[in-house]
Amino acid sequence: MKKKRIIVVDDEANIRETLKDILTDEGYEVLTAVDGESALRLVQSEAPDLVLQDIWIPGIDGIQTLKLLKNADPDIEVVMMSGHGAIDTAVKATKFGAFDFIEKPFSMDHLLRTVAKALKSRKGRLARRRSVGFTPGSAADRRFLGASRAAKRLQRSIVTAAEKSRPVLLAGEEGLGKRYAARMIHNLSDRRDHPFIEINCAELDEIQFERTLSAAALPARSRFALAEGGTLFFDSLHKLAPALQPRLAETLAAHFAQEDADGDDVRIVVSFIDPTGKGLDERLFTLLDETGELIRMVPLRRRKTDIPAFVERFVDLFADEYGKHIEKIDPQVFDTLSELPWPGNIGQLQGAVEGAVQRCEEGELTLTSFDLISLSDPTPGAQPRRLSAVAGEPTQEAGPSLRQKTLKTSLVLCGQGLHSGTRTGLILSPLPPDAGVVFADITTGARVPARIEYVRSTEYATTLSNGHVTIKTIEHIMSALSSYQVSNVLIKIGDEAPIMDGSALDFCSLIEDAGLEEQDALVEPIRLTETIVVGDPAAGPALVAEPADAFSVDYTLEYPAPIGRQEHTYAFDTPTTYKEEIAPARTFGFLDDIKALNEAGLAAGGKLSNFVLIGADRVLNTPLRYPNEPCRHKILDLIGDLYLLGRPVLAKFTAIRSGHTQNIQMVKRITMALERPEPIRAAAGGR
Ligand code: ZN
């Protein structure tokens, strides 16, 4: 294995030599430097793994040197050494990216431990980076990372724009780093030693405009004069008061004309949202568009392959900032964050990672540190969209065939599996027509369609398996998908669907937040031609399906006290009726059963918050949402299991104490009935 290379920076020769001896004995390769400048040269030429640096060094001071070193190689680890009385500075150094500091005089043991820890941290960081195919580049601005075509095009455009003197129009959504791009164009150009003057157009009022931008402005106040030789950046041009926009057009036209005449030299850069200039005064946009160069900044959701690199970079950045040693990032983090829509783009992603790093325990960063529910909302800050959007959807009564539907966007939900108790998440994504409802393993991507032929076990919950992938407890999400008539959707998941609060409410909200999109294909509901009976209706448990024009369930539950006999009749109308009547009903269990389940290793995720626990004489843990909540939950389960048919079924179901076993049998019987040769229908009265 290659020796790790360490640079020792100290102005005292005996310290340099002592450290060199100790570290060389330990098998490191050691170089020494007496000051910041020579350290920086060594970092650039020798690519060390670690720098041991004294806080007090001649020339550029310790903190300044640290910043330069980290700038030259963001992956280098720096350990600061400080004497008494310099602890404050040393602590500050960790904020600027030093791995740690040690106080002189230090023990050999402590020194070696700290060095080993720092090298391990670097190794972990580099390994994580390799795992996402990201090669550390120079210290180029982290806003412009990425290897996607869009990212490369943007990087090239910035470099090309910097070389020229023409105005630059930066167009793109919020959060893409338009201000950084403007800065970078300035810093890369030969104007870098002249001023970069920024004008926030949102804050510019008429008086300020008159004083600072009009031809009448005094040279001491004129932004054009202040920016002489440099760059004048108009940020958020679309936010400039409409009355001022034509006046800015005049000012700029005069500026360009004068520049042609006497070579007065201020580079104009502007930023706005819509590349077609929507929201801008026509004359202003035309002037800029004709004289300048337009750089379109592509939204993050259209360059999702860049997301892991950003996540990496931000994790490193904030781990340093908050002093967390994060050695590993769970691959699910990359998968999941790559699926989100990021309406706030890189800025939003950065904020999300910062929050997660703050919440994260030391060691591994996992999805649980992310506030995914709020991230999944496609319009952050906006009121969550409620039922109105779907309440107007056509119902089954609209006709014999329905349009197939999928989701408008991908969304994520996080929770815990009821039976496995492990953390699990769920990502819903749109699928093309006729794809159906498909589950996929979140890590391997292996897929299993939500169809009866893949049902493996129904003892306590409905489980799908195709040999490569097993997915448990799918009935609640299936129930919501059925009721919102989502025909095609990909559900990436751990090995068990998250239980949430034990009901289907969160799944309903998720579907509503994603929005539904009608597709160019039809779905034909299943119509029964005969009554199907599963079980013994006289004694129960039993499930009976009779031909009908709409879906309904009449469920009778009979348990010992405190539940007793309960009944509920549900007729499907719109997703709204489902959401009000059925979706909130939670999973329930009897105390004795739970004990047995726990002993069998099941129901490990059953917390008091995600299900209704029934004791010998009363419900133990929660007020019921309906007096007959358990009965309604049974209907919820039945709706979910029936969706293994892959399309709506128009029938009147009568259920007596039935459960997953009868539900699945019913699905099999209906499937068999459909596969039988067509019966003679003439006598069936049009059914
Ligand atoms: Zn259930």
> Which residues, at least 6 apart from 180, have a Cβ–Cβ distance to it below 8 Å?
141, 143, 144
Pairing of strands 231-235, 267-272: parallel
Residue at 141 is within a domain: no
pLDDT band of 609, cuts 50, 70, 90? low
Could you give phi then psi for residue 588, rounded to 5 degrees? -135, 165
pLDDT at 178 exceeding the cut of 60: yes
Answer yes or no: are the C-beta atoms of 79 and 101 closer than 8 Å: yes
Total number of domains in the chain? 5
Q: Where are the alpha helices (DSSP H) in 370-485?
A: 372-376, 388-391, 475-483
* 3-class DSSP string for 631-655: HHHHHHHHHHHHHHHCCCEEEEEEE
Same domain for 536 and 585? yes
The string of pLDDT tens digits covering residues 206-215 is 888 988 898 7
The string of pLDDT tens digits covering residues 547-594 is 999 999 999 998 877 778 999 999 998 899 999 999 999 988 776 666
Same domain for 534 and 666? yes
Q: What are the tokens at 52?
A: 């041991």
User: 138: exposed, middle or buried (C-beta count within 10 Å: 0-12, 13-18, 19+)?
Assistant: exposed
The string of pLDDT tens digits covering residues 96-145 is 778 888 887 778 888 899 999 899 888 776 765 544 333 333 333 556 67
pLDDT at 7 exceeding the cut of 70: yes
Q: Is the peptide bond before 562 cis (omega within 30 degrees of 0)?
A: yes
What is the Å distance from ligand 1's center to 84 Cα? 64
Residue at 241 is within a domain: yes
- Is residue 235 within a helix (H) or strand (E), and if so which, with residue range? strand 231-235
pLDDT at 531 exceeding the cut of 90: yes
Same domain for 372 and 409? no
Between CA 20 and CA 69 the distance in angstroms is 20
What is the Å distance from ligand 1's center to 474 Cα? 9
Tell which wins on pLDDT, 653 or 339.
653
Answer yes or no: are the C-beta atoms of 541 and 656 closer than 8 Å: yes
What is the Å distance from ligand 1's center to 473 Cα? 8
pLDDT computed for residue 475 by the predictor: 92
pLDDT computed for residue 172 by the predictor: 93
* Average pLDDT estimate for 313-322: 82
User: 594: exposed, middle or buried (C-beta count within 10 Å: 0-12, 13-18, 19+)?
Assistant: middle
Residue at 151 is within a domain: no
Output DSSP code: residue 684: G
Between CA 184 and CA 660 the distance in angstroms is 61
Same domain for 642 and 539? yes
- For position 353, which CATH number holds? 1.10.8.60
pLDDT at 442 exceeding the cut of 90: no
Please choose, from the candidates 308, 338, 371, 327, the residue with its C-alpha nearest in 3D space to the C-alpha of residue 445: 338
pLDDT computed for residue 417 by the predictor: 55
What is the Å distance from ligand 1's center to 519 Cα? 30
**CB atoms < 10 A from the CB of 42, how many?**
19
- For position 633, which CATH number holds? 3.30.1700.10
pLDDT computed for residue 143 by the predictor: 61
pLDDT computed for residue 687 by the predictor: 36
Residue at 147 is within a domain: no
Tell which wins on pLDDT, 275 or 544.
544
- Per mean pLDDT, which range of 206-215, 247-256, 263-272, 416-425 is the poorest? 416-425
pLDDT computed for residue 128 by the predictor: 54
Same domain for 178 and 236? yes
Angle at 16 between CA 12 and CA 22, to 5 degrees: 145
Residue at 568 is within a domain: yes
pLDDT computed for residue 320 by the predictor: 79
What is the Å distance from ligand 1's center to 419 Cα? 12
What is the Å distance from ligand 1's center to 354 Cα? 36
What is the Å distance from ligand 1's center to 595 Cα? 18
pLDDT band of 632, cuts 50, 70, 90? very high
What is the Å distance from ligand 1's center to 144 Cα? 47
pLDDT computed for residue 550 by the predictor: 92
pLDDT band of 598, cuts 50, 70, 90? low
What is the Å distance from ligand 1's center to 479 Cα? 9
Residue at 394 is within a domain: no
pLDDT computed for residue 96 by the predictor: 76
Tell which wins on pLDDT, 468 or 15.
15
Same domain for 263 and 341? no
pLDDT at 241 exceeding the cut of 70: yes
Same domain for 549 and 577? yes
Same domain for 494 and 464? yes
Tell which wins on pLDDT, 242 or 140.
242
Between CA 128 and CA 122 the distance in angstroms is 10
What is the Å distance from ligand 1's center to 482 Cα? 15
What is the Å distance from ligand 1's center to 468 Cα? 25
Same domain for 288 and 321? no
pLDDT at 686 exceeding the cut of 80: no
Q: Tell me the residue range of the domain where 540 lies.
A: 526-675
Residue at 138 is within a domain: no
Query: Average pLDDT of the chain?
Result: 81
Q: What are the tokens at 77?
A: 């680890």
- For position 94, which CATH number holds? 3.40.50.2300
Same domain for 497 and 591? no
* Average pLDDT estimate for 621-650: 92
- For position 488, which CATH number holds? 3.30.230.20
The string of pLDDT tens digits covering residues 149-177 is 888 888 888 888 888 888 999 999 988 88
Active-site residue set: 660
pLDDT at 329 exceeding the cut of 60: yes
**What's the number of CA atoms in the CB half-sphere (13 Å) around residue 435?**
20
Proportion of the chain above pLDDT 90, given as a percent: 31
pLDDT at 199 exceeding the cut of 80: yes
pLDDT band of 603, cuts 50, 70, 90? low
Same domain for 613 and 655? yes
Residue at 537 is within a domain: yes
Between CA 462 and CA 472 the distance in angstroms is 6
pLDDT at 427 exceeding the cut of 60: yes
Same domain for 661 and 542? yes
